[in-house]
Structure 1
Amino acid sequence: MTLNLNHPVLSALLPVGLLIGIGFVAGRLRFIRAESVRDLSNLVFLVLAQALLFRTMSAVRVERLDFGAMALYHAVAAVLFFAVLAARGFDSRAAVLALASIFSNTVMIGVPLVGLAYGEAGLVQLFTLISTHALVLLTLATVVLELLSARDRAREPGAAPRHLARTVARAVRNAVIHPVPLPIIAGLLYAQTGWGLPPVVDRPLQLLGNAFGPVALVLVGVTLAQTAVGAQLKGALAIAAVKTFVHPMLMGLAGWAAGLRGLPLAVMVVAASLPIGANVFLFSQRYRRAEALVTASVAVSTALALVSVSLAMALVPYLPQ
Structure 2
Amino acid sequence: MSQPNDPFSGLSAFLAAAQTGGFTAAAARLGVSPAAVSQAVKALEARLGTPLFIRTTRRVGLTEAGAALFARAAPAAAEMAAAIEAAGAMGKEPSGLLRLTVPHMAVPLIIEPTLGILRRTHPKVAVEIAVEDATVDLTARGFDAGIRIGEYIEPGMVAVRLTRDIFWSVVASPDYLAEHDRPRQPEDLTSHEAIRYRFPSSGTIYRWEFERDGKTLSVDPRGSVIVNDGALLISSARAGLGLAYVADIAVETELATGTLIRVLEPFLPKTPGLFLYFPQRAQTQPKLRAFIDLARQVLRP
**Structure ranking higher in helix proportion:** 1
- Shorter-chain TM-score bucket reads under 0.3
**Is the radius of gyration larger for structure 1 or structure 2?**
2
Normalized per residue, the structure richer in strand is 2
- Scaled by the length of structure 1, the TM-score of the pair is 0.25
Greater relative contact order (Cα < 8 A, sep 6+): 1
